[in-house]
Amino acid sequence: MYQKLTFLFCIFISGCVSMLDTKTIIQNMYNIPTSGVSKFDGTKHVRMRNMFCSDTIILEMYQDTHKASKGMILVKAGVSSINNISGDRSLLFKVDGDIKYFSPTSELTEYSNVYFGSGISKNYSFKKYLIPEVYIRKMGAAKELMSKMYLLNNTYVEGDCSVTDFYSYNKNKPNSTLKVSQKDIDMSNLSVAQTGIKNFITLIDNEVW
């Protein structure tokens, strides 16, 4: 959260960018929703991409007509670098202190770029996981949401996926002269993975499968 707020202040001081302009910039970079219908067989889908946990773990969530009937979500989870991701139980989430492990659908680590627009992209290594929809809903409603991924080189990365509030930020913030307001916190929360999860849940709830 602190890094995201620093990023926001950099935007503000780099050319008289308004709060509304900053909101648009963030919404075009993070937690981007898409949906569509297959012309081939009428299958519907919704997707949320560019979901970040502390700029280290990147999530993408996808559901279509077939997966919705089974109550499952396809989650692409990876790290913001070129790395080989471990196999069994390599993805972990901590929801309000409760930790669950998930195993990928394949042993193959895939590589791609996360695109932010304006020619800006980030390297991305990921695997795919099938996660019950009911658990995704718990993630969206959590007061604390964290993620962790194990890599093949006996290391791991972890990230905070949670939205925050003004009280929590001021209680846990690092020593800094950076002054923030509730509006700053709200703006930063637009780029947090849990916001994307909440929006994704709204998308699938509004879809008539």
111: number of Cβ within 10 Å: 12
Per the structure, how many domains does the chain have? 1
| Mean pLDDT, residues 171-186 taken together | 70
Q: What is the mean pLDDT of the chain?
A: 88
Tens-digit pLDDT profile for residues 89-136: 999 999 999 999 999 999 999 999 888 877 788 889 999 999 999 999
Burial of residue 136, with CB atoms counted within 10 A of its CB: 0-12 exposed, 13-18 middle, 19 or more buried: buried
Helix (H, G, I), strand (E, B) or coil at 40: coil
Tens-digit pLDDT profile for residues 12-45: 444 545 666 778 888 889 999 999 999 999 999 9
Domain that holds residue 17: 2-206
Helix (H, G, I), strand (E, B) or coil at 9: helix
pLDDT of 153 over the 50 cut: yes
| Mean pLDDT, residues 45-61 taken together | 96
